[in-house]
Amino acid sequence: MSIVSESSPSAIKTPKPNLRADILSGFLVFLIAMPLCLGIAKASEYPPIAGIWTAVIGGLLTTFLSNSQLTIKGPAAGLIVVVATSVVSLGEYALPKLPEEEIARLEASGKSEQEIQKELQVRQIRMGYPLALGCAVIAGVIQTLLGLFKGGNLGELVPLTPVHGMLASIGITIMAKSLFPMLGMPAAPSSWTPLELIRHLLGFGPDPSLVPPLTQINLTVAAVGFLSLVILIAFPYLKVLVKPLAAVPAQVFVLAVAIPLGLVLNLEGVGKSAGLTTMVSVPNIIYSDNPLNALRGAFTFPDFSAVLSLPGLVAVLMFCLIASIESLLSSQAIDLIDPWKRKTDQNRDLMATGIANTLCGLVGALPMISEIVRSKANIDNGACTKYANFFHGLFLLAFVLLLPMVINIIPLAALGAMLVFVGFRLASPKEFFHTFQIGIEQLLVFITTIIVTLSTDLLIGVFSGIALKAVIHLIFGAPVRSFWMADVVIAERNGDVPVTISVRGAALFSNWLGVRKAIDRASEDSSEVILDVSETKVVDHSTMEKLHCLQEEFLQQSKKLTLVGLENHRPLSNHPTAARHNLKKS
């Protein structure tokens, strides 16, 4: 439900009163989004322009479909691993190996075994891209149906710690993959797991015949990449020392340094002589001799032939699951810091994202989510309504059409540095310390999710974290029945006395929707609800976290949610959202 006061910007039916603020914020977010869209697409094994199209569709379409006021829709770093893995696995499914006659021809031309393997990987990615688009279209349709049939709350069933572990493992993978373009090193085999990639970086990878990449750093490319990374790290301190920089996004300052430096160092020529791709490449549409052909070349259309294959079904599941969960969590987080405390209709937003993702898959763009970093920047820049998202997409469209020559002189090393920086933020040591503060058992789940994900893939990693969390709950005495059913009793209302809800058995991530439904039902007739958990054996961290968020929501609605009955529960740490285990019920 959307809560809008008469004084909030979204209560005004036209964008005109907030036009100046939304245009300015949209422009500033566009400056941040443009290099990230290019870098995320490149790291996802998509053409760079695919990331731009995603943000354009996210801005121009979802603005009018969703009621989410301050979220920015576009490609996200959290989906890089999902998309890249899908492209590679679908490409391997479509082309397991080169035809024998093709191998013979390449050998006859003097190609080494490694060069032939590289040629196979290039073709697999080329074939996997349209197959991944086909899976993305189906995932978008499923997302749309989930929103239409009120499935927007399903993301709340996933426990928080495995999700954070998944994001941290994505961050580690992004850093490992992005170091190659940042330092001008030859790319590693795309079929390797993240752990194999990290081993390769350290010099003891799964293929001993490959030269350790750190011995093949191109110093010219690395100079641009390393300088870009230093700027990103130092920029918060630079802004304090040089006041005019406070209004400039860090990514824009990086490009302002990296582009002229790349031209002076002739990065394009350096790349050609070393067999590396060092510059971004997007189609030049308007200024082409044949704009219509250039426009056709800017889009790729989906291939649905592998959707029902095992890698195709996994891709559909991952696109739908990870994108939906990330988007829902991001929009909920942005709602909490909305200055006007407006609430996103999660079902409507999921349906809007699904429709937009379906269109993205049809034209060759990346999947999109509500992106939290750009959304936070949107709020910080003074955006008032959802039209800031629209203008961010409009500026991107204008830039790619009118100034493609500027995009094509952006060094990939600079984009690689930006992604290394983004990856570090996802897997920051602060994330490990914060998880440890919540409880040692949460850190165990967190690290297990990371290790399994890096060794296998995201799906297995997340499920391993969920499974370990379930085992820990069983050890602490949670009844098996509580894993799929919330045992709640709502007391009858008696005059002005607050409604009391008693929870028995356990309050867990998996039965949270049942608890939440009871709270919502009780709050319809009363401005104060008391949740009594004295009869539970376990109250897990995810439930404690969500109850804290729900208490904030109640306050915004001039209501009150009180949690009682924790006197006999032992918290597993001093953190306010730590899991609780009832000593008397053990």
pLDDT 10s digits, 107-135: 999 988 888 998 999 999 999 999 999 99
Residue 3: per-residue pLDDT: 47
Neighbouring residues of 109: CB distance < 8 A, sequence distance ≥ 6: none
Q: To 10 degrees, what angle do helices 113-148 and 80-94 make?
A: 120
Instruction: Domains for the chain: give ranges and CATH numbers.
Output: 16-414 (no CATH), 480-582 (3.30.750.24)
Is 571 strand, coil or helix? strand
Residue 10: per-residue pLDDT: 58
The whole-number average pLDDT for the span 527-549 is 95
* Contact call for residues 36 and 251 (beta carbons, < 8 A): yes
39-64 pLDDT, tens digit each: 999 999 999 999 999 999 999 999 99
**Residue 45 bridge partners (DSSP):** none
297-335 pLDDT, tens digit each: 899 999 999 999 999 999 999 999 999 988 988 888 898
401-435 pLDDT, tens digit each: 999 999 999 999 999 999 999 999 999 999 999 99
* Contact call for residues 204 and 452 (beta carbons, < 8 A): no
Residue 585: per-residue pLDDT: 60
The whole-number average pLDDT for the span 15-40 is 92
Nearest to 88 by CA among 208, 171, 211, 188: 188
Please, which pLDDT band fits residue 8 given cuts at 50, 70 and 90? low
* pLDDT higher than 70, residue 13: no
* Contact call for residues 192 and 100 (beta carbons, < 8 A): no
462-484 pLDDT, tens digit each: 999 999 999 999 999 999 999 99
Q: For residue 512, with 0-12 CB atoms within 10 Å meaning exposed, 13-18 middle and 19 or more buried, which class applies?
A: buried
Give dist(CA 502, CA 351) in Å, integer: 34
234-258 pLDDT, tens digit each: 999 999 999 888 888 999 999 999 9
Give percent of the chain with pLDDT exceeding 70.
97
Residue 357: per-residue pLDDT: 98
* Contact call for residues 359 and 57 (beta carbons, < 8 A): yes
Q: What is the dihedral of CA 185, 213, 182, 237, to 10 degrees?
A: -150
Q: Is the pTM of this model over 0.85?
A: yes
518-531 pLDDT, tens digit each: 999 999 888 899 99
**Residue 570 bridge partners (DSSP):** 581
* pLDDT higher than 50, residue 1: no
In SS3 terms, 379-423 reads as HHCCCCCCHHHHHHHHHHHHHHHHCHHHHCCCEHHHHHHHHHHHH
Mean pLDDT of the chain: 92
Residue 586: per-residue pLDDT: 54
Please, which pLDDT band fits residue 384 given cuts at 50, 70 and 90? very high
Residue 6: per-residue pLDDT: 46
Give dist(CA 326, CA 258) in Å, integer: 31
Residue 2: per-residue pLDDT: 45
